[in-house]
A and B are shown apart, each in its own frame.
Chain A
Amino acid sequence: GAGVSQSPSNKVTEKGKDVELRCDPISGHTALYWYRQSLGQGLEFLIYFQGNSAPDKSGLPSDRFSAERTGGSVSTLTIQRTQQEDSAVYLCASSLTRGDYEQYFGPGTRLTVT
C-alpha cells in the first residue's frame, strides 16, 4: 500500500518568509510524528499527534513553529519568519496507534532558507 508522503520534496525560501510543509500519513494510522534532521545532527523530535490533537509539542524549537492535523489524516507543519538555522530535512512518520512501536517514515522535505 501507499506509504507516508510529504510535499514539497524540496523548498527554498528567503529568510523571513513563512513556509508550510505537508504530510500524508499511511491510511488508518492514528499517530503522526514530525522530526527534523539537520546537517551533522541526528533526528530531532518535534511534535506528536494522536488523531487531531497534539499531546506532545515539546520538541518544537520556538513559537515560530506550529503544526496542525485535520480529519485525523493530513498534517501541516508551518514555520513562520524562517531563519537560516531552520534549514534541515523535515521528516514525518506515522504509526498505526499511539502504542505501536514501529513508525513509518516519509521521504522528507528539504528546506533551505537563504
Chain B
Amino acid sequence: AQSVSQHNHHVILSEAASLELGCNYSYGGTVNLFWYVQYPGQHLQLLLKYFSGDPLVKGIKGFEAEFIKSKFSFNLRKPSVQWSDTAEYFCAVNARFSGGYNKLIFGAGTRLAVHP
C-alpha cells in the first residue's frame, strides 16, 4: 500500500534560519508529489507540486522541493524562513488508480513554528 512518511513532527526555528522538511513515500509506480500548507485558522493550500520534468520545483513564498526518485523522497526547503511561515506542512502523493482518478495519500504533517 502507498504511504508517505514525514520525518519531523515538530520543528522550531528562528527567523532567517534555513528549513528542510523530509518526506519519503512508498509507491513503485508513477507518482505526482505535492506539498500542502495549512496556516493557523486557514484551509489547506497547495504550496508546490511535481508532475514531471525538472526534479527541482519552485513553489510560492520562496519554497522549493527536490524529487529524488532513487530515494523516493520529496523534501521541502526554504533558505530563510519568516515568522509568517508558521504553519503545518503536509507532503502528499497522488497515485493514478485503475479507475483513472487520483487519490491523495498524505503524510502525518510537520508543525513548523518560527520565532521572531
Contact = CB atoms under 8 A, between A and B. Distances in A.
B102 A42 contact: no
Interface residues of B, number: 27
A98 B100 contact: yes
B105 A102 contact: no
A55 B44 contact: no
A18 interface: no
Contacts of A93: 104
A102 B45 CA distance: 11
Is chain B's binding surface mostly helix, strand, loop or mixed?
Answer: strand
Interface stretch (B11-19, B56-64, B68-76, B106-114): B106-114
Interface residues of A, number: 27
Contacts of B49: 101-102
A95 B43 contact: no
Contact of A100 (B102, B103, B105, B109): B102
Given A91-B44, A101-B49, A43 B99 contact: no
A98 B102 CA distance: 7
Contacts of B105: 45
A4 to B, nearest CB: 8
Given A98-B99, A101-B49, A101-B94, A106 B43 contact: yes
Interface of B: 4, 6, 32, 36, 42-46, 49, 51, 90, 92, 94, 96-97, 99-109
13 contacts: A35-B104, A40-B108, A42-B6, A42-B108, A42-B109, A43-B106, A45-B103, A56-B101, A98-B99, A98-B102, A101-B102, A104-B46, A105-B36
Interface of A: 31, 33, 35, 40-45, 48, 50, 55-56, 91, 93, 95, 98-108
